[in-house]
Amino acid sequence: MKLFLKTKDFSVSGEQFELHWDEELDMLVTQPQPENLAPYYESEDYISHTDSKSSFTDRLYQSVKAKNLKNKIQIVENQLDDVQNLLDLGAGTGDFLIAAQNSGFQATGVDPNDKARKLAEQKGVRLFSSVEYVAGQKFQAITLWHVLEHLPNLKEQIETLVQLLEEDGVLVIAVPNFKSYDAKHYSSHWAAFDVPRHLWHFSRTSISKLFVPHQMEVVKIEPMWFDAFYVSMLSEKYRGNKLYLVSAFLVGLWSNLKAIFTKEHSSLIYILKKKK
């Protein structure tokens, strides 16, 4: 694999990392990959595990997250003949699971982070700490909202996902896209690289190729429009720009406009099903 660029952990440790390009899969791989990733999540800045609303950026994130829940549920429902059981991996503090349950799904969630599970429990949602607790079960829908990039042993994890999915089920995966305009614009400061928490960095090509051995295909791709703005805000802050809101809005807007033609949005939702 060839060196693509060097970057660092801007939000927690400040440590340096490299991104190497896997030419065959057209994806980037974080190097080195720490054996123990838990300390890199122990920060109030890691908002998915805290429900933090302490800063303007946090409040904006939480506001948009609430509005996006309906869209996420709709995406899943559109792929199924009727509402059945659902597994959400990397469930965070449980908000998507609550929305799924309110929409009629029998929803199960997994998240390895103790803090996130405790916050979810306070909302009445019990999460498993590992996918091992649902081994042997089958789900009509499996969702990973910005989670696949965090999972070690990627090919083994994908095999597990396929085993858990019903034959006519749907797998929904949302991940950042390193080929987006905002990724190229910010380069090593692009917040969605988020090393070393993000171990893998996907393209449209890599998602398709990773699932080919399992007889699964991408049947639809949906954009995540807000991600270009949010990621640009964080990236501008990493650059030290005190006027980050204006710059981030302009970059995010331009990224979304270009993606109308290139289809390379900041983040993409891939909908996969088993080949018939």
**CA-CA distance, 73 to 43, in Å (whole number)?**
29
DSSP letter for 213, please. G
| Least confident interval from 21-25, 37-41, 148-152, 177-181 | 37-41
pTM of the shown model: 0.93
pLDDT > 80? residue 18: yes
Strand locations in the chain (E): 2-8, 16-22, 27-31, 85-89, 106-110, 139-145, 165-176, 200-201, 216-223, 267-274
**Is the CB of residue 254 less than 8 Å from the CB of residue 266?**
no
Token digits of residue 116: 């996130």
Instruction: Please classify residue 89 by burial: count the beta carbons closer than 10 Å to its beta carbon, then call 0-12 exposed, 13-18 middle and 19+ buried.
Output: buried
Chain centre distance of CA 179? 15
CATH of region 2-224+264-274, choose from 1.10.10.10, 3.20.20.10, 3.30.980.20, 3.40.50.150: 3.40.50.150
Beta pairing, strands 27-31 & 16-22: antiparallel
The 10s digit of each residue's pLDDT in 233-274 is 999 999 999 889 999 999 999 999 999 999 999 999 999 999
Q: What is the pLDDT of residue 46?
A: 54
Q: What is the pLDDT of residue 42?
A: 81
| 63 CB neighbour count, 10 Å cutoff | 11
pLDDT, average across residues 45-51 = 55
Strand order in the sheet with 16-22: 2-8, 16-22, 27-31, 200-201
**Is the CB of residue 120 less than 8 Å from the CB of residue 174?**
no
Q: For residue 108, which amino acid is it?
A: T
**Is the CB of residue 259 less than 8 Å from the CB of residue 221?**
no
pLDDT > 80? residue 115: yes
